[in-house]
Structures are given as structure tokens and as C-alpha cells.
Structure 1
Amino acid sequence: MSTKKVPARTGSTVTRRKRSAGSGRLLRQERADTISHAAIEFFAEHGFKGQTRELAARAGVTQGLLYRHFPNKDAIIEKVYHDVFLSNWNPEWEVWIGDRAVPLRDRLVRFYKDYTKGIMKPEWIRLFLYFGLDGRGDFAKRYLKNMHQTIWYRIVAEVRHHSGRPSLDFEAIKVSEVEMVWALIASIFFIGVRHYVLGLTVPDDIDSIIEAKIHAFLEGVPAAMADSPNQEAIFDLLPDM
């Protein structure tokens, strides 16, 4: 009597289906990441008025496939905002600024050097400007409002403590204090504008420039803050998002 051989099975149908589904999810994520990375470069070059057909060609996919991963252009831009601006956020910044066991100068230098590493990139600088120029300013305002509430407020509080002035619990933050912190970060940001937008030569050693800016800030700003008119600032100078 002959016995029919049964081929060896490499795995159950359920297992093979799970592997196939897992591979499908991985491929889908890889394609979404490819589109996102291409969108960052594309919008940094052309602004947000660039067409999705051109973006799809840059990403090496069809426009139909692009919309299978992102329902519309706004969803792509939201992903770009997250990947460029939010993914680089370091929650330790707030801890560094508030650590009074460390001299204020060292705290500020550490924060601004680390922060500048994240923003001193062509896509960061150019996209931030395009958010304001291309009618999508809510993204920039959203980011800046978060900076106000988590970073700049703390810097003012620490400058006050450093100078022996009343805390923000007893004396409301003033317009001039907010403006002086604005001025410091703006001077650093403009190095990136000069380089990545205007095409001008900038110093190679940005860290030394930051150290000099912090030195100048602490030499003059605390006294200027103390002597400025007692005009209370509505801290969220930016509209509600």
C-alpha cells in the first residue's frame, strides 16, 4: 500500500497572513516616510504653494498613491510641521534653564547652543518663513506660542532671580522683558536667514557667537529689564490657536 507524502509546512496560514500583514504595514510606513521626507525638501524649496503632483514625482510615487497615505495637502503639511518642528523639541530645555545650581550664563549657553543645532538647518529656517508667507501662519504662531509659554517665560523668571528682582508670582511679566528675549533668539535665527535664504557667508563657529550673545545679553538686559516701564505684558501676545 503506497503512502502519499505530505509536503512539509513552513508555517500555518494564520502565521503567513500575520507576516504578510506585518510586511504590508512596514511597506506602508516606509512609503509614508519617503513622502514626508520628500515633502520637507520640496516645500523648503518651493513653499507651500507647490503642487502635490510635483511632490509625488519628487517622492517617486504617483499622485494617487500619495493620497492613499495622506488624505489631502493639509495633512502632508501637518506631518511636515510635526517632523521638522516638534520632533526636535527637547523637554530637557526647561529643566536646564531652571536649574539654579548652575550659573545662569552656563544654563543659557547650554540651552541656546542645543536649540540652535535643531534650527540651524535650511529646511527649518525656510519652512518657518514659508509658514508665514504662504498663508499658513497658524503653524508658526502655534510654535511661537509654545516657545513663549515653556521657554521665554522661564528665561525672564531666571533673569529676575539672577538680578534679585521680584518673581513673576509677585510682579507680572512686562512687555520689555518679553521683547528682549525675543531679540536674543531673533538675532540667532537671523544667522540662519542670512545663510540659507540670502546666501550670505556666516561664521563657522556658531557656538562662539552664541556665547558672545549670551555675554552681551547678561551684561545689559537685566538692568534694562529692571529699569523699563512697568507695562504688563499679556504673555500670550500671539492669538489663541
Structure 2
Amino acid sequence: MPPARRRLPPEDRRRAILDAAVPLIAEKGLDVPTRELAARAGVTQPLLYRYFPAKAVLLEAVFERVYLNRLDPAWLEALRDRAVPLEHRLCRFYEAYTTAIFTPEWMRIFMWAGLAGEALNRRYLEQVGRDYLRPLLAEVAAEPGLREPVMEDLWNLHGSLVYLGIRRFIYRLPTPEDAREPIARAVARFLAGLRA
């Protein structure tokens, strides 16, 4: 006889379902059936639908947890602190950002969503561009001795650093455990390119 399922307060049950859904979606992709999601969470499918009336609602909650909840508004304040040299600000930002996103769940769900054509990726990238890269562009443009940067310059830097995580968590290739050195080299190359 299976053990009796214990009753949880609604917020705890919702959180438990998400706790089970995030690693399963990271492992199997966005097309994982809700029946399998419910089984992994230890609930019935009707109970899953009580908390998440549609799979899209569950995916939105996963997106919020895995992506939006990792972005820290304090990063922007630190990026704009011109008392700190630009190179240090860029390095600090990317050290914090990569620490937040270099997880199997973040990388794998991002890849699955991109392959599925989900709008979640576009929304996330639009937010990162608007909330971090555009302000960063303004900080770089204000730096004396650098040519006027364009947004593509920032996306190139950003993409090169995110690719460290893709190599580690998607391709399972060796990467430096400590990302600080590759970040410092990438930022130095970025700034040197703008001085040319």
C-alpha cells in the first residue's frame, strides 16, 4: 500500500510542484507530458491542474523561478557606479551574472525553450537587453578613450560569456571552474577592441 500523501498548504504544494518540474523540464524538455510532471511531483494530474490550470501557466512559473528570480536589480546600480573603473564594473557584473545562471536548469531549459520556439527566451533576452545591456552600453559610451559602442558589441561580449555555461552544461565540455579569469580576459578584449 503506497504511503498516504500529506496535505500541504497551497503555497507549499505549488512550490513542491515547481521543485519537481524544474529539473524534469531541464532533463526532458518543454514537451514533457503533464502526467509525467504530476508523477514526478507526487500529485495527481487533476491536482497539478488545480495549481497550474494549463501547461503554459506552469511553464510561466518555471520561467519566473529559473530566469526572472535570478536577476538582481542591485547589479544595475553597481554597473552605474562611475567611482569604480569600467573594467572592474564589467567584471563584477559578469561574475555575478554567470554565478546566477551557470546551473544545469538555467542552461538546459533555455536551450529547450529556444529549440521549441518558445517566446520565453525572447522575453528574457529583451529584459536582459533593456535592463542591463542598454545601461551598460551607456556606461561604455561615457568612458573616455573608447569609440562609440553599438548594442551588437555588448551582445557579443554577453554571448561569449554565456557560451562558457553552454559548453559546461549542454556540451559537457571542460571549462574553468572559476569563471573570473575568462571573464576578465573577455572584458579586457572587449575594451581593447573599443580602443582600436
Q: Which whole-Å deviations, capped at 9, do the CAs of 1:127-146 have from their partners, x for residues lacking one? A: 1111111131x111111111
Superposition misfits of 4+ residues, deviation over 6 angstroms = none
Residue in 2 that maps onto 1:188? 161
Q: Could you tell me how far apart the structure 1 residues matched to 2:23 and 2:173 are?
A: 21
Residue in 1 that maps onto 2:100? 118
Q: Could you tell me how far apart the structure 2 residues matched to 1:57 and 1:198 are?
A: 29
Identity of aligned residues (%): 40
Q: Could you tell me how far apart the structure 1 residues matched to 2:86 and 2:146 are?
A: 15
Q: Which amino acid aligns with 1:223?
A: R
**C-alpha deviation, 1:165, in angstroms:** 6.6
Structure 1 length as normaliser, TM-score?
0.75
Q: Say how many residue pairs are matched.
A: 190
1:213 aligns with 2:194: no
RMSD across aligned C-alpha pairs, in angstroms? 1.7
Q: Could you tell me how far apart the structure 2 residues matched to 1:73 and 1:158 are?
A: 40
In the TM superposition, 1:131-170 aligns within 5 A as: 131-136=113-118, 138-163=119-144
Q: Which amino acid aligns with 2:103?
A: K
Q: Could you tell me how far apart the structure 2 residues matched to 1:84 and 1:217 are?
A: 28
Unaligned runs of 5+ in 1: 1-23, 167-173, 225-241
Residue in 2 that maps onto 1:234? none
**C-alpha deviation, 1:46, in angstroms:** 0.9
1:71 aligns with 2:53: yes
Q: Could you tell me how far apart the structure 1 residues matched to 2:136 and 2:54 are?
A: 39
**C-alpha deviation, 1:185, in angstroms:** 1.1
- Choose which of 41, 59, 69 in structure 2 pairs with 1:87: 69
Q: Which whole-Å deviations, capped at 9, do the CAs of 1:81-136 have from their partners, x for residues lacking one? A: 00011111111111111111111011111111001111100100111111111131
Unaligned runs of 5+ in 2: 1-6
Residue in 2 that maps onto 1:223? 195
Structure 2 length as normaliser, TM-score?
0.91
Contact persistence 2:146–2:195 (CA under 8 A): no
Residue in 1 that maps onto 2:42? 60
Q: Could you tell me how far apart the structure 2 residues matched to 1:150 and 1:135 are?
A: 23
Q: Which amino acid aligns with 2:116?
A: D
Q: Which amino acid aligns with 2:128?
A: M
Q: Which amino acid aligns with 1:156?
A: L
Q: Could you tell me how far apart the structure 2 residues matched to 1:161 and 1:76 are?
A: 42
**C-alpha deviation, 1:154, in angstroms:** 1.6
Q: Could you tell me how far apart the structure 1 residues matched to 2:195 and 2:113 are?
A: 35
**C-alpha deviation, 1:33, in angstroms:** 0.5
Q: Could you tell me how far apart the structure 2 residues matched to 1:163 and 1:155 are?
A: 15
Secondary structure (helix, strand or coil) at the match of 2:70 reads coil
Bigger radius of gyration = 1
**C-alpha deviation, 1:181, in angstroms:** 0.8
Q: Which amino acid aligns with 1:70?
A: F
1:178 aligns with 2:148: no
